Structure 1
Amino acid sequence: QYLEDGHCSISNSLAENCIRPFVIGRKNWLFAGSPKGASASAGIYTLVETAKANGLAPMKYIKYILSDMPGSAF
């Protein structure tokens, strides 16, 4: 993409730096309890990092996402 758009960065270091806290703490997630628990944790971390990357408040973003889900009580 960076060849077609001069605004795109040739480096992915920004993305790597965003996921660094997740990678550093991965040993802590060995205790997620189950594969489903690990999948749920990954989903939440994805939401948090997406909010941060877009300049949003993570807690407000998660509340918004969860409130928009069918059957939500928020």
Structure 2
Amino acid sequence: MLERDIRPFTTGRKAWLFSDSVAGAKASAIIYSLMLTCRACNVEPYTYLLRVLTELPQRGADADISDLLPFNVATPPDVLLTFP
């Protein structure tokens, strides 16, 4: 189980060598963190990103976006994933 959870990081390690800036590396780390949080919360990542990327532009710069975090997103039961 642990090996499966760290596989995205080991796969991305070579890609991180080409992060041209600290901001780019930080953005990659945020995306990996969000995707693994989706997985831990049984939220389908593509559906989650689609929802977040359509709702974020409609909110103000100072708006509270904590409801868009993966563990706060309510998903219908048919969208839930199960992991062995």
Kept in 2: contact 1:48–1:62 (CA 8 A): no
| TM-score normalised by structure 1 residue count | 0.60
Question: How many residues are matched?
Answer: 59
Shift of 1:17: 3.7
Whichever residue aligns with residue 49 of structure 2, its letter is I
**Per-residue CA shift, 1:45-72, capped at 9, x if unaligned?**
1111111111111011123334443xx1
Which structure: greater helix fraction?
Answer: 2
**Per-residue CA shift, 1:3-55, capped at 9, x if unaligned?**
xxxxxxxxxxx456412321343122110221100000010111111111111
Q: Confirm or deny that 1:34 pairs with 2:2.
A: no
Percent identical residues: 43
Kept in 2: contact 1:47–1:62 (CA 8 A): no
- 1:11-30 alignment to 2 at 5 Å? 14=1, 17-30=4-17
| Higher RCO (Cα < 8 Å, 6 or more apart) | 2
**Cα RMSD (Å) of the superposition?**
2.4
Structure 1 unmatched ranges of 5 or more: 1-13
Q: Confirm or deny that 1:56 pairs with 2:49.
A: no
